[in-house]
Structure 1
Amino acid sequence: MVQITFKQNPVTLPGREVKVGDQAPGFTVLANDLSPVTLEDSAGKIRLISVVPSLDTGVCSLQTKRFEKEAASFGENVEVLTISADLPFAQKRWVQENGIEGIATLSDHRDLSFGEAYGLSMMELRLLARSIFVIDEKDKVTYVEYVPEGTDHPDYDKAIDAVKALTN
């Protein structure tokens, strides 16, 4: 089981840890218009899933902007998804205020489907733990990073390299 802290305090992450080589667990999250989005909706594509506690915080905002900046260089067969437990309305506002166009922001607020499937729901906070997943066209997990301290940045370069390794 993954052990992380948030602001140096240990948090409980129920569920199982997703590892490289696993088949990506299915999930249902909400788009900013409240429509359901599943893993199957991007079947046949490479997915970089960037998980943040809340878009309205500094590190989460920077993480989302960094992957949006990189998305254009990945090619058409790559989808970048940012998932948080923020309300879809808050995500939509943040996207509009920050001019985000190249990635999808998705909400796991309703039932924490993604958080439970990927072992990311911080029980004490009802937020998702910061993490990165790269999933190939056949739904195999090829890269995982559970960030040990929730207020730290992920290793952007390793995640980007993992996507590029699948597109070459």
Structure 2
Amino acid sequence: MTISFQGEKVFLKGKPLKVGENAPEITLVSKDFSEIKVGGKQDKIQIISVVPSLDGSVCSIQAKRFNQEATKLKDCIVYIVSIDTPFAMERFCLDANAKNIIVASDFIDKTFGEKYGLILANSFLKGMLTRAVLIVDKEGKLIYQEICEELGHEPNYQAALNKINTL
């Protein structure tokens, strides 16, 4: 899949999942270095907001927006997945007063990025995750996916929220 970043073509390593496929359960690292399971079957609907780094301005906006929206969502859990270190995730959560989201990192082995096909294959951001929003139902099926066509643009929050409201 090809996206763009500041007008240049950027490719994704591997193939992204398709809506209707099982979302693999992946173990990621939390801001306190504990393990977090993302994807797979859970007792809540999962919104997985994927960003390259919480230090990026658009990434920060995206995480803050989902932190706000999480207060209005029932039966949902919101993950923000990046390749940031736990230290950076902790700093972001403190600075942004982000208490309604769960930050998780794929920095150790990039298994999430590989299994979900969301690793940037070229550009100076090579090896980071692209910007995306995924929704996984309680049975572990991917029911919504937006991979942002322009890495520097925010996702369509309303489309994701509309999908949640139809469940």
For normalisation by structure 2, the TM-score amounts to 0.92
Q: 1:143 to 1:40 in 2, by over 3 A?
A: closer
CA contact (8 A) 2:40 2:141 kept: no
* Per-residue deviation, 1:41: 8.3
1:84 and 2:85 matched: no
For the residue of structure 2 that corresponds to 1:145, the secondary structure is strand
Q: Is the 8 A contact 2:40 2:139 kept in 1?
A: no
Instruction: Determine if the alignment matches structure 1 residue 11 to structure 2 residue 5.
Output: no
1:11 Cα offset (Å): 2.3
Over aligned residues, Cα RMSD in angstroms? 1.5
- SS for the counterpart of 2:72 is helix
Is the contact between residue 26 and residue 38 of structure 2 (CA under 8 Å) also seen in structure 1? yes
Identity of aligned residues (%): 37
- Match in the other structure for 2:20: 21
| Counterpart-to-counterpart distance in 2, 1:40 and 1:117 | 11
SS of the equivalent of 2:13 reads coil
SS in 1 for 2:158: helix
The Cα shift of 1:42 comes to 6.9
Structure 1 residues 35-44 or 53-62, which shifts more? 35-44
Task: Give 1:34-73 correspondences, 5 Å limit.
Answer: 34-39=33-38, 43-73=42-72
Structure 2 spans left out of the alignment, 5+ residues: none
Map Cα deviations across residues 2-61 of structure 1 (whole Å, 9 max, x no partner).
211222222231222211111112212100111121236871210000001111111111
Q: CA shift at 1:123, angstroms?
A: 2.7
Cα displacement string for residues 72-99 of structure 1 (whole angstroms, at most 9, x for unaligned residues): 1112x21000000111110111110110
Query: Taking structure 1 as the reference length, what is the TM-score of the superposition?
Result: 0.92
- 2: CA distance between counterparts of 1:42 and 1:32? 23
For the 8 Å contact 2:81–2:106, the answer to whether it is kept is yes
Runs of 4+ in 1 over 3 A off after TM superposition: none
- Alignment length (residue pairs): 164
> Are 1:116 and 2:117 matched, yes or no?
no
**1:152 alignment partner in structure 2:** 153
Gaps of 5+ in 1: none
